[in-house]
Amino acid sequence: MRKLFIAFLIAVLLAIPTLRAEGDALDLTPAATPAPVELPPVSDAPLLETPPIHPDCAAVLLMEADSGQIIFQMNPDTPRPVASVTKVMTILLTLEQIDRGALSLEDTVTVSPTAAGMGGSQVLLDVGERQDVATLVKSMIVGSANDAAVALAEAMYGSEALCVDAMNRRAEALGMKDTHFENCTGLPAEGQHTTARDVAIMSRQLFAHALYYTFSTVWMEDIDHGDGRITQLVNTNKLLRLLDGCDGGKTGSTGEAGYCVSATAQRGGMRLIAVVLGASSGKERFAIAQQMLEYGFANYRKYPVAVRGTRIRGRLPVIGGTEEGVALMLDGDLTLLLLKGDEQRLQLSPDLPESLPAPVEAGQRVGSVAVTVDGRPVARIPVVACESVEAKGVGRGLRRVLRNWPLRL
């Protein structure tokens, strides 16, 4: 009897069409790697139609990081160069490589002639110098070092060109519609451009990485080249000293880009991102960014509206079920960015049927709750059944067979 069962099992397995055909290569890809940080999409429209300030620069955008809600903007979709703010994407790819385990902060990188020969901002790496990834990341974030950026690009992808390909693919995946990279540093290059909106999108993704703040909050540090030379890094983001709560950002400046910054600050559990492009001076870009962030913190707050799993009062009637009704709950979290005081104008309106026909499955969507602020629709929260309710007159044995059909060995 046992031999017959084994023979039957082998025959079934051989008949399965999804098995690897003879000669096909085995898939040796790792079973799973950490996925990039998933964030809600950036809002299509700002809360304010016109900026409440009058910035003297080419473009600005102020965003709340968690929700992706834009508070105000000016020329958000005008393509332009942004100098070393380009490195936001280089840094993002580096941190994502570290998250996936493809790169470690302890890994050692040997500096190539290409990396050592980069102009502009540098940490003054020598050809053949060996530095760990942590030092190179720190040099790129704190000192905006072009040589460190290229050394990391080569370590991750084999060449800067291949890194740039990855940067453009990641930009496309993030929905950055008006961005094209030609290098990983932000040095002037024909065809390289982005927008205030796209800078905010990639900055938001970067600022979601906790590891980033290990480096971004360093104000000054010496880099030991191992041959007796020391290079002193000083953070290019002066808002660290000027603005309460500022803990990150990326600066950039060239003749064609003007003075740019993407800065972030956090107060009271709310993180804001201010993008300033094309200012006339370094002092001016920081002044504009500071004014933007101070405005955001002074006028807006995050308001928790709903928590997934919250029960809705009462039970929804079920027609023809083994139970007369079913409990309901919210199937989503919702935190809104509101103008301070608008909490009083917030309304939740259930949109539910009068009853449900049996059977009802646990988790089945049955309706929603509409969220409005001063009568303006802002969100909708799904409502689902908390438990299953079976239909009357169906035997448990038959229900079990139907749930498990087709039978599996």
Catalytic residue among 112, 139, 144, 262: 144
- Give residues with Cβ within 8 angstroms of 262, minimum separation 6: 85, 88, 199, 200, 203, 249, 250, 273, 274, 275, 276
Is 144 a residue of the active site? yes
Token pair for 218: 């360093």
CA angle (341, 345, 346) in 5-degree steps: 105
Respond yes or no on whether the N-terminal peptide bond of residue 359 is cis (omega within 30° of 0).
yes
| Contact between residue 182 and residue 120 where contact means Cβ atoms under 8 Å apart | no
SS3 103: coil
CA distance 165 to 322: 59
CA distance 18 to 173: 30
SS3 33: coil
Token pair for 76: 């958000």
How many CB atoms within 10 Å of residue 21?
Answer: 6
Token pair for 7: 């023979």
Is 84 a residue of the active site? yes
The runs of H, that is alpha helices, within 16-145 are 87-100, 113-116, 133-143
CA angle (200, 257, 142) in 5-degree steps: 60
Catalytic residue among 84, 121, 203, 262: 84
CA distance 122 to 218: 17
**Backbone φ and ψ of 339, nearest 5°:** -65, 130
CA distance 67 to 338: 11
Catalytic residue among 67, 87, 203, 238: 87
SS3 155: helix
Which residues are the active-site residues?
84, 87, 144
